Chains A and B, each alone.
Chain A
Amino acid sequence: MPKCAGVPDIFRAPTTRSRLSTIKTKTSTTMSYTRTAQFNSRRQTNWGRNQNTVAFASAVKLGPVTHTVLIALMITVLGLIYLTQATRTSSFDYTASDIQTKIDELAAQKKDLEVDNARLMAVKEVQSSSVAKTMTTPSDVRYVTE
């Protein structure tokens, strides 16, 4: 087949001859395949300038039942996604609640330590400490002025 200059093969529609040869091949060989795609020239239908002249069209045709099932499936999936996200928000609440509980526990522990610290630093405790008991009154006090 002569090639047209400037037009890649991929954009060319198969000729009648080439289709025939393909059919021949299919009938004459045991290794065969079935084409699932067809390339139709737009020239045969509606052709316009600056448009691709070849369009892909699936050979699989979906019936109304399949469409209905697919739409139902899509709605189900979307619903599941919505439910997952909504539940996820709730699960964050539980996480936040757990974290808040931990914060409260730590705050309570901190408070206990502060109370213990204040009790240990109480004037009476300090006065009765072993360090305080060994302290003596200075015999000679001298003052300096800055």
Chain B
Amino acid sequence: MDLKFTRGSRNFALAMILIGIMALFAMRLFYIQVIRHDYYVSQADTQQIKPFTLFAKRGEIYTYDNGSPEKFVMNETVYTAWVDPTQATDRQAIVDALNKIAGGNTRKNFAQYIDKKNTRHQVLATKVSRKQAELLKAENIRGLGFDAVSQRVYPEGQLASQVLGFVDNEGNGKYGFEQANDDELKGKDGLLKTVTDVRAVPLTIGAKNINKPAQDGKNYVLSLDRYIQARVEKSLADGISRSGATSASAIVMDPQTGRVMAMANFPSYDPTLLATVTDPALFNNDVVSRPYEPGSDIKTFTVATGIDKGVITPETTYNNTDSVRIEDITITNASKGKTGLRTMQYALDWSLNTGMVDIAKRLGNGDGISRSARDTMYEYFHDRFRLGRVTDIELANEAEGTVVSPDKTEGNAVRYSNMAFGQGMDATMMQVAAGFSGVINGGIYRTPTVIAGSIDDKGVYRDAQARESFPGIITPASSATVREMVHQSHYATYKPQNEPAGYYVGGKTGTSQTIENGKYVSDQTIGTYLGFGGEVNKIPRYVVMVEISAKGKMMGGGADAKPIFNDISNWMIDYLKLQPQG
């Protein structure tokens, strides 16, 4: 049969109409699928592909307890319980469940927030633990929701809180180690961009999936030792209780490596109770952030300079008249009556300012504090012992301090005569302890550090790269001489209490005047003690510096700071299992 449309017939017309409609469809499809291809693909992607942020875990912080890393700051997921008042149909069920399961975490009068029907989100409880959240979820209460929040956990509570710093609500490190190493601790968030189903469950289908894994933050192992830190904080608290002081600080470091083993201040704060801290000054770590006039501790540096330059020995004598005139000022001793021909060892033992000024004179031409004497002192104090310079320790808000250059007008003979016994300059305890470590360890300045190493992804401990060291700040022979002088000085005045025999311990007192409104005040002094300890005929194993003060009180280095030093030092001897001689 020959099938043909007869031109002009109804069938022909119908066929033409159908062909025309089909052509319209084809054109429309061509327009959508070819010409507007990119537009519709992007529309589909917007609906089907969703980005998910893969949050990086903040690195944890460990201590280094006797050579073993132990967790010190951890992360914990807690929940914020909230309600959508428009969806909450059973008010009493919410109240009962929260009171029963998370009673200690609820907001005050939280029930009132359930009644705010013109809102969609009201927080009812914060820091709800995972177990509590699971129990609440099991109640299956309509309108009750939870947001997971990661927070820092401090198993040791207040211990070393000013060294650590804290993490704010936005996840940023504040103060201390957390702030100084925020970028490394934070890590980098990752991204998962994938096709999802209607419930937003990611599906792996699709070539457009992007999976950029999160890089978790670095797990640091601090050089702090929990047990030493706890002991130092206890010793400071005991010292304050004994002397009636209001604040105290201490640092314990290893002079052979520059590693800080403990660093503490009193008063301090509890990082788990941040909201209760009313004085932001409590967040400061005074050991690195507060420069002060170091006072007589600096006499060990002056003696080291004199010995290293060969202008004195411990037996070198000078005529002590209890005062000395430098240009238009008179410098006097705090300990009077020790007049006559005295050795430099004696001047150090009794902390005679005149003896130190005599050394400063000998560094020049012996007549006054000449420019060459000032240049030498500046070279040793600033360039070699690195006083008045940031140490670059890995802690936030480190202060620089001040050692005035002789090039400046203020760097005159009067200032330098004062600097010989620790006045007219500012330094932090960190700078003094690090410089002193270099003086007594054989003459190597080791950049101080609070980082011992890190823990990698597999949980393996790796030692940190050694920080820069500066050998030859004084010769080993000079170092040994100074070490012995400081050892002798330790026993000259304020005999150490309960110190076991057979060890090599040394130290120097410091009693610094304080400046208020640009003037020295007569009713307030800061007591310090700077010393070391170890085995006989060996490089010391620890350096301890203690500072104690109170508003309107005269705190003495020998009377108030030295007992704290002794307490720490005696304990360190046992803790480090040092071998006695004899």
Q: Report the Cα distance A112→B129, complex, angstroms.
A: 9
Q: Report the bound CA distance from A122 to B74 in whole Å.
A: 13
Q: A123 and B204: CB pair below 8 A?
A: no
Q: Closest approach, in angstroms, between the C-beta of B42 and any C-beta of chain A?
A: 23
Q: Which of A94, A108, A118, A143 has the most CB of B within 10 A?
A: A118
Q: Does A145 sit within 8 A of B, measured CB to CB?
A: yes
**Using a CB-CB cutoff of 8 Å, which residues 64-91 of chain B contact chain A?**
70-71, 74-77
CB distance from A83 to the nearest CB of B (A): 13
**A118–B75 Cα gap in the complex (Å)?**
12
Chain A residues 100-146 with CB under 8 Å of chain B are: 108-109, 111-112, 114-115, 118-119, 121-124, 143, 145
Cα A86 to Cα B197 in complex, Å, equals 14
Q: A94 touches which one: B76, B129, B201 (CB < 8 A)?
A: B201
Output the least CB separation between B30 and chain A (Å). 25
Verify A115–B201 contact, CB threshold 8 A: no
Pairwise interchain contact B227-A123, C-beta atoms closer than 8 A: yes
Size category of the B interface is 20 to 34
In the complex the two chains form, is A115's CB within 8 Å of B77's CB? no
CA distance A122 to B156 in the complex (A): 5
**Which residues of A lie under 8 Å from residue B131 when comparing CB positions?**
112
Most buried by A among B155, B157, B202: B155
In the docked arrangement, what's the CA distance between A123 and B70, Å?
12
Q: Is the interface of B mostly helix, strand, loop or mixed?
A: mixed
User: Which residues of the other chain, A, contact B70 by a CB distance below 8 angstroms?
Assistant: 121
For the complex, give the distance between the alpha carbons of A114 and B153 in Å.
11
**A 70-113 to B, binary, CB cutoff 8 A, 1 in contact else 0:** 00000000000000001001101110110000000000110110
Task: State whether A111 and B155 are in contact (beta carbons under 8 Å apart), knowing that A93-B202, A97-B201, A145-B579 are contacts in the complex.
Answer: no
Q: Across the A-B interface, how many residue pairs have beta carbons closer than 8 Å?
A: 54
CB within 8 Å for A123 and B156 given contacts A114-B71, A118-B74: yes
Known A-B contacts A89-B204, A115-B153, A123-B156; A108 and B227 likewise in contact (beta carbons under 8 Å): no
B495 part of interface (Cβ distance < 8 Å): no
Contact of B205 with A by CB under 8 A: yes
- Which residues of the partner chain B approach A124 to less than 8 Å between Cβ atoms? 156-157, 230
The A interface is mostly helix, strand or loop, or mixed, namely: helix
CB 8 Å contact bits of B190-233 with A (1 = contact, 0 = none): 00000001000111110000000000000000000011001000
**Residues of B close to A122: CB separation below 8 A:** 155-157
Contacts known (A89-B205, A111-B76, A114-B71); A119 close to B155, Cβ less than 8 A: yes
Residues of A within 8 A of B157 (CB): 122, 124
Q: Which residues of B contact A96 (CB under 8 A)?
A: 204
Q: Does B159 contact A (CB under 8 A)?
A: yes
Docked complex Cα distance between A118 and B155 (Å) = 6
Residue interface mask B254-288, A partner, CB < 8 A = 1: 00000000000000000000000000000000000
Contact B201 A118 (CB under 8 A): no
Please list 20 pairs of residues, one from A and one from B, whose beta carbons are closer than 8 Å in the complex, sorted by A's number: A86-B205, A89-B205, A90-B205, A92-B204, A93-B204, A94-B201, A109-B130, A111-B75, A111-B77, A112-B76, A112-B130, A115-B74, A118-B71, A118-B74, A118-B153, A123-B227, A123-B230, A124-B156, A124-B230, A143-B580
Q: Contact residues of A with B, CB < 8 Å? A: 86, 89-90, 92-94, 96-97, 108-109, 111-112, 114-115, 118-119, 121-124, 143, 145
The 8 closest A-B pairs by CB, nearest first: A118-B155, A123-B230, A93-B203, A119-B155, A118-B71, A122-B155, A122-B156, A115-B153
7 further contact pairs, Cβ within 8 A, besides A96-B204, A112-B131, A122-B155? A92-B204, A108-B77, A112-B130, A121-B70, A122-B157, A124-B156, A143-B580
